[in-house]
Amino acid sequence: MCCSIIGYSSRGDGDGDGAAPILVRGLRRMEYRGYDSVGVATASGERGPGQQADGDIMVRKGTGRVDDVNRSARLDAMPGSVGIGHTRWATHGNVTDANAHPHPSSSGEIAVVHNGIITNFEEIKSELVQDGYAFRSETDSEVISNLLQKNYERTKSVKESMASTVSRLQGEYAFVAMFSGGRLAAARLHKPLIVGVGKNDMFLSSDVLGFIEYTDEAVYVENGNMVIADRDTATFEITDFEGSPAKYSITKVSKEFGDAYKGDYAHFTLKEIFEQHETASRAGGTAVHEIAEAAKIIRDADSVCLTGSGSSYNAALVAKHFFASHAKKSTEAVMSSEMQFSSEGMGPGSVLVAISQSGESADVLSAVRTARKAGCRIISVVNMMTSSLARQSDVTIGMNCGPEIGVAATKSFTSQLVVLYRIISQVAGGRRPDGGSGDNGGGDNGGGGDNGGNGSSNSGITGAVPGLILRTLEDPTGVQKVAKELKDISDIYVLGRGVHYPIATEAALKIKELTYIHAEGIAGGELKHGPLALMDDSTYVIVINPADSTHEEMLTSAREIKARGARIIGISDARSDVYDHWIRIPEAGGEAENAKSPLYAISEIIPIQLLAYYTALERNADPDYPRNLAKSVTVK
């Protein structure tokens, strides 16, 4: 499952809040990773309402958001200085109280929170049931707590029982276990696990947001390692799965990732849309040398593949277009989930450019492992520089857009585009993707050649994008009016040609994520090859139609659609009488018609982000937390 896991251990010397309120605050910060149920377990000698385990481990949990379950179950009032917590996005079993985490073992002496999937859980569960261990849920996670109990009963050692347990588990997982008496242990295999190091306490978490309020010192646990915590000394030991000591280092976490507050905005999604003029100007701006190195690797490569999932894949499709048109470099764009079926041509002369906001997406990490096995070099574009993807890459370029809490990608998508434009400019020898010269050249990189053109550090994309975004966001009232009209529709189609086609697919993704309206991105030239059959007077069609070389052909397509009775929403910098609604975008500038497109690609997605947001409000949907979705998809 995709979820948040957290563990907290304090020396319990009376100078803190206790574990429960700290765990609840951490879960609230990480709720964007999963939010269909929530639970907390603490180690206490007392027994109170809602307790589901014997011994000194208390468990309270339920379905719903963190604040809702906290109000009904009083999670933050649970006693104890040690505890574990979890928010869930279901994969095994329905969304029920019983399937919510934490999961106590049969005896109640161990409780577990888990992220990931145990692929051999049915085999292990069958063995444990035969041995007399009881199960209360439909999840794969419960086998961990019962297997730990079985091994602990045999060894009487936390470390040995952990080592025996992980030797049996197959799949990809991270889990935190709490043993009777308040001892914590954790293990990681292909899922994130981070230790937050405090003065008299420590955290075990899937995300730095779980503890950044309390400490900025962290250990990123390596794959195949375990953590054994000592409650009395607030220290920990990291070992491999056999129990031998493993090397690790404590790093400082950037405090900007703790700055996840809505401020005066009604939702994180709206705040993040309006932050894009700032985040786009920062994207890749501190990675001058990394961008130059990535460009040289790509320029010299026999073949280049771009990969991502969801919005990141759409960014890869945009980049593919401009690698060909501006850098004269042929690339392929492959969905990360399809990489295992598309890797035949990859080898030691190949490069994989992996794009991910979180750097923890299971499909992307799997694609990286496939490419690495083939001998490829890995370049990553990622927001979390300490993520699994960053650590597995030869070159990593940071998006620098800060935490993105809204589940639907907004500012991360535009930041990805800016970083990719910077790389393309360097591959092209310093020519800007919009036809000019010198993106990050001059003051940043020196002269021309491999490392830049003749502009200043604020030229090219970096200089043009923030102002363009600000002009796009100047007056959202027109978008709000269109959103009211879309309130009750069931289908919407988005058309684009050339580079505007992947923007159309991204637009459709935003609409379906936030509004639950069926939305489909369509290549304009494919209209007569099937999609025209869907057009009638109940249909709304968005046409992405800037005044570039695609403009006239798209107007022809719009007229064909309107002749069938459909209503047209035009996203353009040029008015047309074919549009029933015109959402104006600013002119992007540039000499040649087709050279305007890189800037258009950014400006034209922003009003659709707003349209999806306002339509979600009209339909009483929560734009920050769409149903059935999680921000970081850490399972396949």
Residues with catalytic function: 3, 631
3-state SS assignment for residue 345: coil
Distance CA 228, CA 238 (A): 6
Strand order of the β-sheet with 57-63 is 57-63, 37-43, 82-89, 2-10, 201-205, 194-197, 217-220, 251-252
Q: Are strands 350-356 and 303-308 parallel, antiparallel or unpaired?
A: parallel
Q: Which amino acid is at 51?
A: Q
Contacts (Cβ under 8 Å, ≥6 apart) of 205: 4, 5, 6, 7, 26, 30, 193, 194, 196, 211
Q: Pairing state of beta strands 217-220 and 251-252?
A: antiparallel
Element (H, E) at 427: helix 411-427
Euclidean distance between CA atoms 332 and 323, whole angstroms? 10
Structure tokens at 250: 């404590």
CA pair distance 384, 390, nearest whole angstrom: 8
Distance CA 366, CA 361 (A): 9
Token pair 């799949």 is found at: 171
Question: Is-contact 191 203, C-beta < 8 A?
Answer: no
Q: Give how far Cα 107 sits from Cα of 101, 136, 490, Å.
A: 16, 12, 50
* Of 577, 482, 610, 491, residue with least CA distance to 540: 491
**Other beta carbons less than 10 A from residue 574's beta carbon:** 16
Scan for tokens 């701006």, then name that residue: 285
Q: Which residues on neighbouring strands pair with residue 59, listed in sequence order? A: 41
Element housing 569 (H / E): strand 567-572
Region at 376 (left for phi over 0; alpha for psi -120 to 50; beta for the rest): beta
Residue 23 to residues 36, 379, 632: CA-CA distances in angstroms?
Answer: 17, 35, 20
Q: Which two tokens stand for residue 519?
A: 């939305």
Backbone dihedral region for residue 620 (phi beyond 0: left; psi -120 to 50: alpha; all else: beta): left
Please list the residues that pair with 350 across neighbouring strands.
303
Closest CA to 611 of 567, 556, 570: 570
